[in-house]
């Protein structure tokens, strides 16, 4: 698991872009990443708005970027949560935000259903389409149609992962 410390890189810049166009000044961050795990970006950011509308932030697309010289690294996903930490007398407010990849949404719903007469990649594609998650298939072989595949009281993410494992098909998430 990789972890980046809560520092502002010397000669660098931290930026947070939210679909809602709300402006926040990131001052501290921590990032957790690992193989076969969702990344998690935790941010502490300032705003002159003490009444931030959380519905305009939580559940919305977000992108956090660290720049240092010519190097840049970006994490794109959605804001999983936000909370007000404190309000200073001068009106400056400190917020905590958590960013996760879009694929994290699949871990938030449990379902029951049966897929019949389709292949493993088609099942994965249907799930990603339901969540309107952009994806691209790069298959090196053809897959047989399954008689059926049952999802029973498991998260969409667990179900999405199971057919891929059975078909020995990996997934690669692009950074944007």
- CA-CA-CA-CA dihedral for 27, 32, 37, 38, to nearest 10: 0
Nearest to 68 by CA among 15, 3, 1: 15
- In this prediction, residue 171 carries a pLDDT of 54
Distance of alpha carbon 40 from alpha carbon 34, whole angstroms: 10
CATH architecture label of 2-100: Roll (2.30)
The pTM of the full predicted model, rounded to 2 decimals, is 0.80
CATH architecture label of 105-166: 3-Layer(bab) Sandwich (3.55)
Mean pLDDT, contiguous 10-residue spans, the chain (176 residues): 48 84 91 89 90 88 92 94 91 93 93 93 89 84 89 90 62 51
Q: Where in the chain is the domain with CATH 3.55.50.10?
A: 105-166
Give me the phi and psi of 124, to 5 degrees please. Answer: -60, -40
Give me the phi and psi of 171, to 5 degrees please. Answer: -135, 140
Helices assigned H by DSSP within the chain: 120-130, 156-166
- In this prediction, residue 45 carries a pLDDT of 93
- In this prediction, residue 3 carries a pLDDT of 44
């Amino acid at each position: 698991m990789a972890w980046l410390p809560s520092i502002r890189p010397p000669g660098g810049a931290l930026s947070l872009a939210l679909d809602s166009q709300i402006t926040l000044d990131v001052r501290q961050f921590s990032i957790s990443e690992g193989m076969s795990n969702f990344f998690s970006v935790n941010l502490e950011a300032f705003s002159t708005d003490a009444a931030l509308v959380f519905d305009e932030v939580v559940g919305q697309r977000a992108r956090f970027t660290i720049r240092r010289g010519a190097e840049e690294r970006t994490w794109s996903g959605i804001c999983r949560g936000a909370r007000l930490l404190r309000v200073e007398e001068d009106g400056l407010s400190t917020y905590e935000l958590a960013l996760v990849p879009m694929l994290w949404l699949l871990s938030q719903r449990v379902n029951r259903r049966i897929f019949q007469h389709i292949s493993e990649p088609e099942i994965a594609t249907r799930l990603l389409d339901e969540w309107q998650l952009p994806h691209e298939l790069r298959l090196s072989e053809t897959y047989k149609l399954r008689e059926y595949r049952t999802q029973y009281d498991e998260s969409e993410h667990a179900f999405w992962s199971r057919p891929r494992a059975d078909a020995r098909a990996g997934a690669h998430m692009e950074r944007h």
